[in-house]
């Protein structure tokens, strides 16, 4: 199992746009990569997010990294 954790902060005023993009992206990952576990969390109503990705193996991580929707 390969895991990646990413924490980032978005620009002020972009929350609605980011939330919409995240919903779409996570739905696409679920369809295109059923073996990938992908979760995104907003940290305490702030502008910070945490993404946790779990891939079954390095090749799955590489496919995700190179996918057109990523």
Write down the pLDDT at residue 12.
96
Looking from the CA of 57 toward its CB, the CA atoms found within 13 Å total 1
Q: Tell which residue, 5, 3, 12, has the closest CA to residue 51.
A: 5
Please, are residues 12 and 47 in contact by the beta-carbon 8 Å criterion?
yes
pLDDT in tens, the chain (70 residues): 899 999 999 999 999 999 999 999 999 999 999 999 999 999 998 999 999 999 999 999 999 999 999 9
Write down the pLDDT at residue 13.
96
Quick one: how far is CA 42 from the chain centroid?
12
Helices (H), the chain: 15-32, 58-66
């Amino acid at each position: 199992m390969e895991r990646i954790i990413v924490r980032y902060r978005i620009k002020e005023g972009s929350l609605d746009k980011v939330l919409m993009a995240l919903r779409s992206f996570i739905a696409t990952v679920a369809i295109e990569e059923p073996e990938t576990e992908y979760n995104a969390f907003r940290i305490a109503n702030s502008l910070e997010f945490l993404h946790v990705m779990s891939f079954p193996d390095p090749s799955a991580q590489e496919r995700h990294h190179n996918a057109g929707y990523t």
